[in-house]
Amino acid sequence: MNQTLAIYPGTFDPLTNGHLSILNRSLKIFDRLIIAILINPKKTPLFSLEERIDMIREVLGDKENIEVDSFEGLLVDYAVQKGANVIVRGLRALSDFEFEFQLALMNRKLNRDVQSVFLMTDYKWFYTSSTIIKEAASLNGNISGLVPPIVCQRLKEKYGYKKA
């Protein structure tokens, strides 16, 4: 029996509850999922690649149907290398759609065998993003409930806050 394998790419800097929502919903559609962390030299992430991988693995535990990996270069090439033909992307606002639509069209031009699947975020994560969460955390804002507890703790440590 063929199992469907999908790739959920992103920087995950850091992993949010919105990401987890897309991830969990993806697993209701696909048998296996690779969380693929993009190594983008144009971005300076708050967390190192190793820190992001560790946090994601700690949050997910030992789920056999999820792999955490990283990649450089073209996503469609990575998908083919891993034996996947589906890319999962989460959408929040209309601005996400415009950007993701452009990416999907380029990916389709590069490889017509790799399909993009878009999942709308849950309404409660509509206005959250890793960038906004990091900004709030940097100013000692309460981000609990927006990220998994381990991520919340790591953000506090990264910004030098002491436990209350």
Active site residue 144: no
Active site residue 92: yes
Catalytic residue among 43, 109, 162, 163: 43
Catalytic residue among 25, 57, 82, 92: 92
Written as one string, the DSSP assignment of 39-90 is --TT---SS-HHHHHHHHHHHH-S-TTEEEEEE-S-HHHHHHHHT--EEEEE
Active site residue 129: no
Report, in this order, helix, strand and coil percent for the chain, each rounded to 5.
40, 20, 40
Residue 84 sits at the vertex; the CA angle it makes with 9 and 41, to the nearest 5 degrees, is 35
Catalytic residue among 19, 89, 134, 154: 19
CA–CA distance, 117 with 11 (Å, rounded to integer): 18
Active site residue 57: no
Catalytic residue among 26, 32, 89, 130: 130
Catalytic residues: 19, 43, 92, 130
